[in-house]
Amino acid sequence: MKTHYDVLIAGGGPAGLSAAYTAASAGLQVALFERSKEIGYPIHTSGGSWIHELRALGVPDRYMHPIRTGRFIAPAAEAEFSYEEPPSCILDVRGLYQYLAVLAAQAGAAIFPGCQVEAALCTNGRPQGLRVRARGDFFAPLLIDASGIAGVIAKQLGLRGEFARYGVGAEADVVAPQWPQDTIAFLFGSVAVPAGYGWIFPHGENRVRVGIGVIRPDGSCEPRSALMNLLTTAHARFNCEARGIIELHSGSIPSVAPMARASSHGVLVVGDAAALISTLLGEGIRFAIALGRWAGEVAAQAHHAGRFDADFLVRYDKGWRTRYGRMFSWAQKINRRIATYDDRQWNEKIKMLSELPARAIPPLLQGEWANRALLNAVWRRRKTLGHTLLKSVASWS
Ligand SMILES: Cc1cc2nc3c(=O)[nH]c(=O)nc-3n(C[C@H](O)[C@H](O)[C@H](O)COP(=O)(O)OP(=O)(O)OC[C@H]3O[C@@H](n4cnc5c(N)ncnc54)[C@H](O)[C@@H]3O)c2cc1C
């Protein structure tokens, strides 16, 4: 078995697969190791995303279940927005991740499912390769840590520790024929759980992902029991009768600002492993694809320059920070604030939200706070919305 490559990647989620694709497309010898036996399964995400942004990344429409209506439900307030052209979607997660794997394999990357990375191999503290359980040692001058929240290489090399703040989620993929298949709902305050939120995400053929996420350590509630509670009451409260559970999902997501530096000598850290996500509502998939591809491009540049030192690889950090750095850090600040909201505050905020026009909502949730439609909408409603929101939006942009 071949043991020497140009790049070794730990983790076959969207970040790792996307890095493998661009690095292999540039002619590099790439090996990717995924601990699960199947790419895209088990599912650890609810797969909400944005159609326009995914199309821009080349994601085919067949993996997107379109959403026309969004409901935001607090204990005593609700905002609902509908769109002729669906702006958002719920992904066929397994289908999309396997599609990303096909792209990477077609570009020439070797993908090894069922292979857990145990450790980075280092000489004089410098990474040289990976030790893979039951497969042995593999070598390359550049490693990419795409192992999600585990951050198996980044932690071993001391680039980060355990994330001090993170979200834990529990989700049931249920059959719910009464729930409209083009409508998502976000649930806040005691409708869901303190220091967290709930969601109802349909994804086709009467199937709906119902979930609860809790931020730790802000909230101590057990998401699985809150989920079971939500499922038993969802029929009466939202006309979302769960007639059968098809799958149970669980997962964790970083809820901190991105790593100050996600590169080091011979290493790039991508996706959740580096907290390169919008923590506003815990959205990471499109960033993992975009920045995974960027990591693969930087790997190719490093290979062609013959430079794997930290000074060269810092261009990776500059790239993600220029595009998303501000958004990630503001999303994190807002997430910290909303995690403390009680029912009264949620009612107030959702009422405020209901005063905005539908076109302002996608940029608001996407973290595109400098968006003209959003700023105009807020400015026009400055009297009803009050100065607090206006001041916040102005300072975020
Ligand atoms: C409950 C929940 C709901 C979410 N909902 C959404 C949503 O609606 N929309 C959205 O955009 N984002 C959502 N996210 C976030 C999104 O799932 C992540 O941001 C995204 O998956 C990050 O991609 P990644 O490739 O960095 O990491 P991951 O998708 O976590 O992939 C990491 C991969 O590495 C593998 N791995 C780990 N350790 C090792 C090892 N030692 N050796 C080999 N392989 C290893 C894992 O098995 C996994 O396949 C959600 C997350 C959670 C937990």
pLDDT tens, position by position, for the chain (397 residues)? Answer: 899 999 999 999 999 999 999 999 999 999 999 999 999 999 999 999 999 999 999 999 999 999 999 999 999 999 999 999 999 999 999 999 999 999 999 999 999 999 999 999 999 989 999 999 999 999 999 999 999 999 999 999 999 999 999 999 999 999 999 999 999 999 999 999 988 999 999 999 999 999 999 999 999 999 999 999 999 999 888 999 999 999 999 999 999 999 999 999 999 999 999 999 999 989 999 999 999 999 999 999 999 999 999 999 999 999 999 999 999 999 999 999 999 999 999 999 999 999 999 999 999 999 888 888 888 888 888 777 666 565 555 554 4
User: Which of 116, 253, 255 maximizes ligand 1 atoms within 8 Å of its Cβ, making it the mutation to test the pocket?
Assistant: 253
254 lines ligand 1 (CB under 6 A): no
Whether the CB-CB separation of 218 and 279 falls below 8 Å is answered with no
Q: What is the pLDDT of residue 1?
A: 86
Distance CA 296, CA 86 (A): 31
How far is Cα 258 from Cα 185, in angstroms, rounded to an integer? 28
CA of 267 to the centre of ligand 1 (A): 19
Pairing of strands 77-82, 69-74: antiparallel
pLDDT for the residue 214: 96
175-178: long-range contacts, CB 8 A cutoff, minimum separation 24? 175/206, 175/207, 175/208, 175/242, 175/243, 175/244, 175/246, 176/202, 176/206, 176/207, 176/208, 176/210, 176/234, 176/240, 176/241, 176/242, 176/243, 177/206, 177/241, 177/243, 178/239, 178/240, 178/241
- Residue 374: the pLDDT is 86
Strands 244-254, 48-50: pairing kind: unpaired
With a 6 Å cutoff on the Cβ, whether 150 touches ligand 1 is: yes
Distance in Å, CA 344 to ligand 1 centroid? 33
257-267 residue pLDDT tens: 999 999 999 99
| pLDDT on residue 290 | 98
Instruction: Go through the domains of the chain in sequence order and give each one's CATH number.
Output: 7-40+93-162+260-335 (3.50.50.60), 48-90+164-254 (3.30.9.10), 355-396 (no CATH)
Whole-angstrom Cα distance, residue 353 to residue 335?
16
> Measured from the CB, is residue 87 less than 6 Å from ligand 1?
no
CB of 44 within 6 A of ligand 1: the answer is yes
Position 379 scores a pLDDT of: 84
C-alpha 219/C-alpha 259 separation (Å) is 23
Distance of CA 33 to the CA centre of its chain: 20
pLDDT of amino acid 397: 44
Q: What is the layout of strands, in order, in the sheet containing 126-132?
A: 117-123, 126-132, 136-139
Six-digit token string for 119: 């450790």
Q: What residues does 90 pair with on adjacent strands?
A: 48, 65
Q: Among 90, 43, 1, 22, which Cα is nearest to 270's?
A: 22
CA of 12 to the centre of ligand 1 (A): 9
pTM of the model: 0.96
Enter the tokens of residue 307: 């430079």
Ligand 1 midpoint to CA 210 (Å) = 18
Q: Is 370 exposed, middle or buried (0-12, 13-18, 19+ CB in 10 A)?
A: middle
What gap in Å lies between CA 94 and CA 85, rounded to an integer?
Answer: 25
Which residue's CA is the closest to the ligand 1 atom numbered 17? 45
- pLDDT, tens digit, for every residue of 22-64? 999 999 999 999 999 999 999 999 999 999 999 999 999 999 9
Name the closest-CA residue to atom 27, ligand 1.
148
